[in-house]
Every structure is written in C-alpha cells, then in structure tokens.
Amino acid sequence: MTTSSLRLRAGLVSIVLLAAFLGIWHLAVRSTAPVATMSPEYAKLMGLTATQGKSAMPGPFDVGVKLWEHLKRPFYDNGPNDKGLGIQLGYSIARVGAGYLLAVLVAIPLGFLIGMSPLLSQALDPFIQVLKPISPLAWMPLALYTIKDSSISAIFVIFICSIWPMLLNTVFGVASVRKEWINVARTLEVGTIRRAFTVILPAAAPTILTGMRISIGIAWLVIVAAEMLVGGTGIGYFVWNEWNNLSITNVIIAILLIGIVGMLLDQILARFTRMVTFPE
C-alpha cells in the first residue's frame, strides 16, 4: 500500500463525510412545521418562520448563497457598524497579532531567565500556577476598568491568555536542555550570553515553538469572545451583530471563517516548528 493511495482514499472518505453532513443538515432543516392559517394582511407582517413554517435554522443552500455574497465583496465599508468580512477578519487578526507579539516579547526572555535559574523558577512558580488557569475573559472587566480603552483591553486579554503556554514551554525547554551539551560548552569556556544563544536556544527552540503554537490557537479562540464583549470591529463583533439580527446564516458563515483562519494560523506556526526541529 503506497502513501499516495492512502491519501487518495482518505480524501474520498472526507468528501463522503462532508456530503453526508450537508445532506443530513439539509433534511433536518426542511420546513415541516404546520402552518397556521392567517389572514393575508397579518401574514404580510410576519416572518417566514411563522408564515411558511420555515425552520429557524438555515439550510446549507441558504448559507452557500450568503457566503458567495460575502466573498464577492469582502472589503465593503458601509460606516462604522457595517464592514465587509475581510475588514472584520483583518481587525481581528491585527488584534491577535499585537497581543500575541507582545506576549512573545515578554514570555520568551522571561522563560529563558526562569529556565536558567532554579531559584527564580521556584520563586515564581506559585504565581504562574495561580494566574495560568484564569479564563482570559475574566480579565476583561478589570482591563476595561483600569485601561479605559476597549480595543487596548482586547489586546491585553489576548496578551494575558497567550503568555502562559509560551512561558511554561520556554521554561521547560530551557530547563531540559541536555546537561552534556551545557557541560561541553562550559569546558570550551563559552560565555553565558553566547551559551544561551548558540546552545540553549537551538536546543529549546522546538519546545518554545510548540508553546507558541498552542498560544496562537488560544489567542484566536479568545479574540472572538472578547470582540463579542466589547464590540466595535472584528469577526467577534460581526457574530454579535448578526446574532442581534437573529441571522443564523451569517453566524454560521462567521463560524466557518473563524475555523479556517484559525487553521491557517496554526499551520504557519507548525511550519516554523518543523524548521527548527532537529534529529537527535
């Protein structure tokens, strides 16, 4: 059995699963509810759910048509509260990028420091253990109250949620660099700084990158919730705005896009991880 034929068969199964899913979805939301008789002028004032027994849940075709509409013009701007999906995703990615980069700038140097010093590692451990499990959204009211700016608050929330996996992985990666390698460096009288960059960093890089990969996933999860909370712009706001209009079709489209963008972000980090991985 060659790998190419396995891949082919896996792809086929994927397509069959997708088709089955769409088929079941389509059947499940068919209009089946009994329609009450009503006068025409009354019916004119009512929605399709009430007049034609149309399910409140849109079918795959409704979603497809709407998705096509969005894809045709992703960057329209009808004012502060109505922008195209492309723009909304752009805002979200920019927020995630800002919060995440800040977290990288803090977590990796700090992780290095903690990983190289057993004293710091033990002293800071209780704080990290307490702060780590806090849901990032729990910070939101506090952030809004102290920072007094909702978009910076959103970035702060991304920062605080993506810092822990990176920090812990960096600490772990740095602390578990093989003793022999460090000893060899010592024997060759390599300085501390040089040792950190030429021996420890390359050795710990795969672990650090894994932490970064976990972080980006969490950051993307959190941004949607954060934007739903503070509103204004972003894909989370889009979900909220369409939820406000009870437009489930648009909510489903947003869910799909959130999934795709999340996958792309993860793939990018995965590629970086492969680049720094080394065989032992």
Partner 1 sequence: MATFDDPFDADRSLQSGCACGRHRSASEHEQAALALRCEPVESEEKRYEGVVASALMRAMFPQDLARRAFLKSVGASTALAALSQFFPLQTATEVFAETGAPEKKDLKVGFIPITCATPIIMAAPLGFYAKHGLNVEVVKTAGWAVIRDKTINKEYDAAHMLAPMPLAISLGLGANAIPFAVPAIENINGQGIVLATKHKDKRDPKDWKGLKFAIPFDYSMHNYLLRYYLAEHGVDPDTDVQLRSVPPPEMVANLRADNIDGFLAPDNICQRAIYDGVGFMHLLSKEIWDGHPCCSFAASREFITTAPNSFAALTRAIVDATAYASKAENRKQIAEAIAPANYINAPVTVLEQVLTGTYADGLGGVKTDEKRVDFDPFPWQSFAVWMLTQMKRWGQIKGDVDYKAVAEQVYLATDTRKLMTEMGLTPPASSYKSFAVMGKNFDPAKPEDYLASFKIRKAS
Report the interface residues with partner 1, using CB under 8 A: 36, 38-39, 41-42, 44-47, 49-50, 56, 78-82, 144-145, 148-150, 228-232, 237, 240-246
Measured in Å, how far apart are the chain's first and last C-alpha atoms?
29
For tokens 């000893």, the residue is 183
By beta-carbon proximity to partner 1, the closer residue of 117 and 247 is 247
* C-beta separation of 81 from 241 below 8 A: yes
By beta-carbon proximity to partner 1, the closer residue of 72 and 179 is 72
By beta-carbon proximity to partner 1, the closer residue of 3 and 78 is 78
Shortest Cβ 80–partner 1 spacing (Å): 5
* CA gyration radius, the chain: 25
By beta-carbon proximity to partner 1, the closer residue of 154 and 160 is 154
**CA–CA separation, 83 vs 95, rounded Å?**
17
Shortest Cβ 29–partner 1 spacing (Å): 15
Shortest Cβ 171–partner 1 spacing (Å): 36
Half-sphere exposure of 183 (CA within 13 A, CB side): 3
- DSSP state, residue 76: -
Q: Phi first, then psi: give them for residue 20, nearest 5 degrees.
A: -65, -40
Shortest Cβ 186–partner 1 spacing (Å): 54
